[in-house]
Amino acid sequence: MKRTREQLEVFNLSFLDIISCAFGAIVMLILLAKNGEEGDYKDTSELTKLLLGITQSESENEKLTTTLDTLNQQIKDLDAQAQTVTAEKAQLESDIAAAKELQIQLDESASGLQETIEERKRAALNRNTADERDEEVGGIPVDSEYVIFIVDTSGSMKQMWNRVLKQMDNILNNHPKVKGFQVMNDMGRYLAGAKGRWHKDTPRIRSTILAQMQNWSAFSNSSPVEGLQEALKTYAKPRASLSIYILGDEYTGGSYDPVINTLNELNTDRRTGDRIARVHAIGFIPNVTGSNFQTTRQFGTLMREVTRQNRGTFIALPN
């Protein structure tokens, strides 16, 4: 006979357990919910403080950034000012050096200028009684019968053009009876296109030539070498009574020696070894400083040597 098993009541204990757990869970939820609200409230207050601190820090950072930018700009401005001062100092030193060079050149010409003034004063006092003009004026011999003017027609000379024309007129006045004269620019271009011929020195012709020069604008490289070569090749004949006057303010060429050697060769009588023409120069010293004065100084250096070797005289006329 089989033994009948007793049927277990599974849900009796389990149901109570479930009810207990559920109740405990509800209690825990209530407690957690309450604590969470307090925690959230406390965390929000702290977060607000943190956000306020961050905002203040960002504001301070912006102020510091602005201050730093301002300081950097001030540093840049000071650097620019320092560079400007340095450049001005260098320019000033260059101007001082140029002024000293100009002073040396003017001192070298001072005696000749003073002598010219004295000679003109004496000539003015004796104009009514003198039948002949001096053989030498201001250290420049005026015994030639033919005169050639080589004139720098560059823009810098145009600023002193009236003085140039006056000097040309004075030169012709100071010479004895001039049989003829010619005018060309420093490039060897003739004023009236009369190569190989002479203009008679009459009041009408002289006035016409000087009037034509008022509007003369021939190209110039501020170097009298080409004009001097043209004058010597065309007009320097043995036993010629010829004076060449170079009127300029600059020399833009290079070495002096090749120029001087070439000119001396063209101006030498091969039979006697004597110089054919007298070469004089008048330098018009403009009001320039710095690097612009370099070409003016070069003109004076070259002309002093050219005139010395060719029986002439160099005079510098300050502006």
The per-residue pLDDT for 135 is: 45
Contact 307, 313 (CB under 8 A): yes
Q: How far apart are CA 179 and CA 184, in angstroms?
A: 17
Q: How far apart are CA 184 and CA 186, in angstroms?
A: 7
The per-residue pLDDT for 127 is: 42
Residue 110 has which token pair? 């001072």
Q: Helix, strand or coil for residue 183? A: strand
Q: Region 277-287: what's the mean pLDDT?
A: 89
Residue 208 has which token pair? 């016409």
Residues 6+ apart with CB under 8 A from 308: 314
The per-residue pLDDT for 143 is: 81
- Across the strands, what pairs with 245? 149, 280
Q: Region 198-209: what's the mean pLDDT?
A: 90
Options 3.40.50.11260, 1.10.3720.10, 3.40.50.2300, 3.40.50.410; CATH for 97-318 is 3.40.50.410
DSSP for residue 192? S
Q: How far apart are CA 3 and CA 6, in angstroms?
A: 9
Residue 107 has pLDDT above 90, yes or no: no
At residue 80, what is the residue type?
A: A
Stronger pLDDT, 109 or 199, i.e. the higher one: 199
Residue 257 has which token pair? 């020696």
Kindly list the distances between the CA atom of residue 65 and the CA atoms of 56, 59, 75, in Å, as whole numbers in the listed order. 14, 10, 15
- For 240-277, the pLDDT digits (tens) are 889 999 999 988 888 899 889 989 999 999 899 999 99
Residue 12 has pLDDT above 80, yes or no: no
Stronger pLDDT, 102 or 261, i.e. the higher one: 261
How many separate helices (H) and strands (E) can be counted in the chain?
7, 7
The HSE-up count of residue 302 (CA atoms within 13 Å, CB side) is 29
Give me the percent of the chain exceeding a pLDDT of 90: 29
Mean pLDDT across the chain: 79
Residue 47 has which token pair? 């977060």
Q: How far apart are CA 285 and CA 105, in angstroms?
A: 10
Assessment of whether the complete model's pTM goes beyond 0.75 = no
The per-residue pLDDT for 308 is: 93
Question: Quick count: other Cβ atoms within 10 Å of Cβ 301?
Answer: 14
